[in-house]
Each structure stands twice: as structure tokens, then as C-alpha cells.
Structure 1
Amino acid sequence: MMEIIKEKVEGKINTSHEGKVLPVCYRCAQVPKKGLYDGFRVQGMFFCSDCQEELFTAEQGSPEYQEFMFLIKGIFY
């Protein structure tokens, strides 16, 4: 792990995302396809459009709905 950090600091690792701000979904931990415009933010936490669709279509009381409520409560409290 320290070797990777050292190589990054020394500039030996070249990534295609350098200098770009890429959001990561708070729920699924994936970078959305369209970047910042592919989801929404709540209190600084980003949710991708795929997770947003799952949230809006989840049945109240379902495990998915309960997971979202747990995550959203964690953001506000």
C-alpha cells in the first residue's frame, strides 16, 4: 500500500482521471456514467441515477427501501 502511495506522489502512476472531480455514489460506490450530472446530492452525499431510480420505485417496507432510509437518516443525523 505504501508503495502505491509513494509511486503516486512521485508521479509514476498515470491515471486517466487525474485533475477531474468524479462523484462516487454513496450507496453503490460507483462513479456514474455521466459524472456530476447523473444523480443528485443530499447534504454533500451523492446518489447516482440508478440508485435514485431504485429509491423512487422501492416499495415501502421492502429491504431496498429500508436500506435507503438507513442511509438517508445517517446523512441528516
Structure 2
Amino acid sequence: MDEKDLLRRIHSLVDEEHRLRDSAEHTAETRTRMNDLEAQLDQCWDLLRQRRARRQYDEDPDAAQVRPKSEVEGYLQ
């Protein structure tokens, strides 16, 4: 996935998250989906950062790998 595709994916996930947050219905299913979206977004942002760091240090950005949700969810902000 190149950077443009990755950014499109991030924007798509953010749009869906906003739609869910703005809806009046917040069921258990909706909350589960929002949690899943947040985890996917964390993975996408992590991958984007990896790609940019690799490019900055003259490494192959395509060698960046999606890290497991459990790993990226554990990062401290």
C-alpha cells in the first residue's frame, strides 16, 4: 500500500468514525465498531510513520509492515 492509498484509507476510516459518533444511536454494536475503527486508524498511522521514517533514512518504505493491533494500541502518546 503506497502513501496515497494509506491516506485515502485513513480518511475513509475517519469519515466513518465521525458518522458513527454523530449518529443518535450508540448501541453496543456501534461502540464495538468505533473501537475497531480506532484500532485500524492507529495501525494506519503507525504504518504511515514507519514508511516516512524509512524514506527519511534512505530505506525502502515498502518494507514497512502493519503491526498487530495489540502492539500499536499499547503505545504511549
TM over 0.5: no
Compare relative contact order (CA 8 Å, sep 6+) and give the higher one, 1 or 2: 2
Q: Which has the higher strand share?
A: 1
Which protein has the larger Cα radius of gyration, Structure 1 or Structure 2? 1
Q: Which has the higher helix share?
A: 2
TM-score, normalization: structure 2?
Answer: 0.29
